[in-house]
Amino acid sequence: MHVTIKTSQRNFVTDPDGWLGQSLYFNNLFSGEWGDKQEDSSYFIETDANLFEHILRYLRTGVLPVFYDRLAGHDFPLYQALLGESRYFAIDRLEKWLCEQKYLEAVKIQYIAKETQERGSYQKHTTCWPNGHTSILEDHFVEITTRSNMETTIFPVTVQRNEFYCPDAKHGKSSEEYCRSCAGRARDQGIQGVGGWRTEDELIWCIVQKEVVFDHDLCVNAFRE
């Protein structure tokens, strides 16, 4: 049985048979006890149509609302306004969801931070991320592939590293163990100041990814008896 619910701003057509019983207010309204039915069989409710739209959506679907934007965060004024409406319409489950701020548990933010290889290397490099990858190609191009619910920030960071150079100037950046014989030759030939340990500044890319994880099951099943 379809009915029309009128508000000051606009009208709503709904079938209460699918959701009647979730609200004591509407149980009484449609029972005829209040005598509020209009001549055209519609019902007028003094409420904000924008808020009532969320009320009606919840009654139809049973899915508890989350008003979250990646840039602005949660819409707390809307939650507060809807809490007042849920109390007015005597919708206990929705009121509990809003009063206990359970919606905060439905949205989780995960951060992943990782350093890429140094710019000094000219080899293709790929770092695996969950649901994506990051590549540095030829020391001048950063390629990132992620899911659409991720935000990625890339910024350069200078770090100090200790590097060992071949004392005999044959192997460039190396290790003490590998260049043990080179150290002997450099000493015998009087080569000084070529190799050994050096502290160097190196530029790396720091990649921070922010992922928004939405718990739909919580919105469907919370406070179910």
Domains of the chain: 3-101 (3.30.710.10), 109-213 (no CATH)
Burial call 51-68: b when 16+ CB within 10 Å, e when fewer? bbebbbebbeeeebbbbe
Longest dimension (CA), the chain: 111
| Neighbouring residues of 46: CB distance < 8 A, sequence distance ≥ 6 | 7, 8
Q: pLDDT tens string for the chain (225 positions)?
A: 789 999 999 999 999 998 989 999 999 999 888 888 899 999 999 999 999 999 999 999 999 999 999 889 999 999 999 999 999 999 999 999 999 999 999 999 988 887 775 444 433 444 444 555 555 444 545 566 666 778 888 878 888 888 898 988 888 888 888 888 888 888 878 777 778 888 888 888 788 888 899 999 999 999 987
Long-range (24+ apart) CB contacts under 8 A made by 12-21 are 12/49, 12/52, 12/53, 12/56, 14/56, 14/60, 18/60, 19/59, 19/60, 19/62
The pTM is what? 0.69
| β-bridge pairing 11-14 and 3-6 | antiparallel
